[in-house]
Amino acid sequence: MSATWFHRRGALAHGVWESVVDAALPGWQHTGLHVAELAEGDEVALDDDGAERIVVPLRGSFTVEHREGLEPRRTVLRGRPSVFAGPTDVLYVSAGSTLRITGVGRVAVASSPTDERHPSRHITADEVAVELRGAGASSRQVHNFGTPGSLDAARLIVCEVVTPAGNWSSYPAHKHDEHVPGHESRLEEIYYFESAPVAGAGPAADPDAAFGLFSTTSSPVGEIAIDEQVRTGDIALVPYGYHGPAVAAPGYDLYYLNVMAGPGPERAWLISDDPAHAWVRETWRTEQIDPRLPYGGGADEER
């Protein structure tokens, strides 16, 4: 089952793209992801395939050419030096547009098929809502640039999470695989991972050795089992089941980009905790947020 839903860096390569997640994968239909590494003079492009998209600079800066209806547009994304440097500016592109991306660095494009049209929007880094979630060893930092409270979109929900070395996130394990009005929404989810030695680790720390851990377990909706070391470029697909924890190994920070969408009537992220571990949330009330956070800017706390 892990081989079905977990893919090492490059295992989903297609053409100029290092990784492509789309409906061509068996059992996948609501979300998509393209990841590419660009050098000077390189470009990647996506046709109009009836999907809304968010362009996310992972490392570096990019220029995005697209269309809003018949009007051509050109947006410069200033980006960032790495995913651990704080939030980045991103570009939401309305369904019905082609994309052409140029620049130097690493870029991701999250997507979801839809017939709805919502206005394209350039969200600058200082507009991104930065949330500190959890407490103690469960402290993590969330960048909510593509969530329902931050972005007007049809179905796509996108955020990114930074977990400091030694901490746990996506914890307690939770699920969103059933439509239960007001309680749980049905969403498939993509996790794209990066890991790196902590700042100041020194020359002995090998960036290619940086890793974290990620798990999923079955729910009444379906059987799934992922228990893997995750490194930069790895991708986990979660069609159903409880997912988490995502654990940053001591000495290495962990990042993941979450892409979610589903068939439900409402664009909402409503979850059910694994009942065996839901009690853990209550322990956070007496703990403090990890003092290493936030990375790269101010934040609001939520527990």
Q: Is the pLDDT of residue 224 over 50?
A: yes
Write a three-state SS string for the chain. CHHHHEECCCCCCECCECEEECCCCCCCCCCEEEEEEECCCCEEEECCCCEEEEEEEEEEEEEEEEEECCEEEEEEEEEECCCCCCCCCEEEECCCCCEEEEEEEEEEEEEEECCCCCCCEEECHHHCEEEEECCHHHCEEEEEEECCCCCCCCCCEEEEEEECCCCEECCCCEECCCCECCCECCCEEEEEEEEEECCCCCCCCCHHHCCEEEEEECECCECCCEEEEECCCCEEEECCCEEEEEEECCCEEEEEEEEEECCCCCCCCCCEECCCCCCHHHHHHHCCCCCCCCCCCCCEEEC
67 part of a folded domain: yes
What's the domain range around 22? 2-282
How high is the pLDDT of residue 69? 77
| CATH code: domain of residue 29 | 2.60.120.10
155 part of a folded domain: yes
Task: Give the chain's mean pLDDT.
Answer: 95
193 part of a folded domain: yes
66 part of a folded domain: yes
Q: Is the pLDDT of residue 303 over 50?
A: no
289 part of a folded domain: no
295 part of a folded domain: no
Reported as a single tens digit per residue, the pLDDT across 71-106 is: 899 999 999 999 999 999 999 999 999 999 999 999
300 part of a folded domain: no
Reported as a single tens digit per residue, the pLDDT across 21-35 is: 999 999 999 999 999
Q: For 163-182, what is the mean pLDDT?
A: 97
22 part of a folded domain: yes
Total domains in the chain come to 1
